[in-house]
Amino acid sequence: MLTKVYGSAVFGVEATTITVEVNTDIGIGYHLVGLPDNAIKESNYRIAAALQNNGYKIPGKKITLNMAPADMRKEGAAYDLTLAMGILVSTGQISEEKLLSQYIIMGELSLDGSLQPIRGALPIAIKAFEEGFKGIILPEQNAKEAAIVETINVYGAKNIKDVISFFTSETSELAVTKVDMTKEFYQHLEQPEFDFSDVKGQESIKRCMEIAAAGGHNIILIGPPGSGKTMLAKRLPSILPPLSLSEALETTKIHSVAGRTLSTSGIMTARPFRSPHHTISDVALVGGGGYPQPGEISLAHNGVLFLDELPEFKRSVLEVMRQPLEDREVTISRARFTITYPSSFMLVASMNPSPSGYFNDPSSAMTSSPAEMQRYLSKISGPLLDRIDIHIEVTPVPFETLSEERKGESSVAIRERVIKAREIQALRFKKISSLHYNAQMGVKHIRAYCAIDSESLALLKSAMDRLQLSARAYDRILKVARTIADLDTEEQIQSSHIAEAIQYRSLDREGWLG
């Protein structure tokens, strides 16, 4: 008897429907074809035990299972449930009353028949809807994530018995999973976990972070240990505009593929904050591997990637970020496939100003020679610094400020100003689909939207001559000044905006090392 069951394979951040054909014939044997990997080849042992422990079996017949399309490699144990249901129907152990062909069925089986969560539930549900399936059956842990796609019926099962009952009984306990998107999506916005009100002092740094958030600018914090660089970076997501629904879905798809979205809501409701260790490999950062997975820069999509102690990262790791920072996506090419992951993130980096860490700390003596400092700073390439708009020096907070009981301005209040500035930018760039905020402007757009008067031009020329700023600082200063003007709701960039933007180019000063 020939039976067809449907599963799904995730390739990059998109899903492809897999047809599992199960044929039983006279003889004895179990033949699984269609480019399965080792995890799928071992599925017959898990399936046999799960069926045995639930009153069914793999009968002594010749069973041939084909996973089509046969030229696409299938990976992972998520096909266990698909194969098991095909075997049960093909061998006549259950007679389906509901058509098996109307559902995508996925799940990893334990030996007792319980279902383990899978990866990629959201892209699988999206693909199932696009191809006209009536519903999708998944492990219970994945149900809320898939139920974000409200246009398809999603059923979460705990055990293979639940799935068998769904197809054979009129009194199945499986119910359609529903998610209240409004409640889940907006409930976190009022009280962020990390709030700028907890930061004592550092008013100039908080202002700089507000500018970075308003324009989507990459930023590097330079300061001695204990000056608050990490504390400030962790609070940056709390002042970024809330995720739109389309951004949330796009971000959730990436985390779903990586198996990181088993939350109570099913959808990513807050902007991601990723902070990889400096020992990370280039593959872990950008993605790829034998079984392609999104890297840290894709997991930070629509959020923040924080690189603490930037010079400690391997040079090769930092260099692979240059293309994703420019194109806002990363393409992984191999002999048999090419995968593109989105990677539009804000880069926040921190570093000590010298190997000892205390070069610009007014309370400590400098313990590194200029040569040592030059060698330390040269670990960061010029092309990478080219893609960082804001450089800011962070100094330790005095005890008197730390002991104050007065709280600083809250993240919610700062975020309101950031949102207004982003709305101004969205209106400005509404006819340019590739631009959403100031940091994305190229040279052509800078000339069009960052015009300055003669007074501002004279100020900028004087600063570049006096501070010996490099040529690459010119466009960055104009972009940051444009954002400062947006925060002040000024249509024209003023000389005061240029003056403030000049302060945020510390590493461009040729005399910075003293």
- For 441-482, the pLDDT digits (tens) are 988 999 999 999 999 999 999 988 887 777 778 888 999 999
Could you tell me the two tokens for 225?
């240990």
Which is nearest to 75 in space by CA: 262, 292, 286?
Answer: 292
Other C-beta atoms lying within 10 Å of the C-beta of residue 420: 14
Q: What confidence category does residue 154 fall into, taking pLDDT thresholds of 50, 70 and 90?
A: very high
The pLDDT value given to residue 333: 81
Q: What confidence category does residue 512 fall into, taking pLDDT thresholds of 50, 70 and 90?
A: very low
Using CA atoms, how far apart are residues 270 and 186, in angstroms rounded to an integer? 9
Q: What confidence category does residue 511 fall into, taking pLDDT thresholds of 50, 70 and 90?
A: very low
Residue spans of the domains in the chain: they are 2-168
Using CA atoms, how far apart are residues 303 and 512, in angstroms rounded to an integer? 31
**Torsion angle of C-alpha atoms 146, 149, 155, 159, degrees rounded to 10:** -10
Q: Which CATH number is 2-168 given?
A: 3.30.230.10
Which range has the worst mean pLDDT, 119-133, 295-309, 362-376?
A: 362-376
Using CA atoms, how far apart are residues 317 and 383, in angstroms rounded to an integer? 14
The string of pLDDT tens digits covering residues 352-363 is 877 665 555 555
With vertex at residue 71, the alpha carbon angle to CA 28 and CA 14, rounded to the nearest 5 degrees, is 115
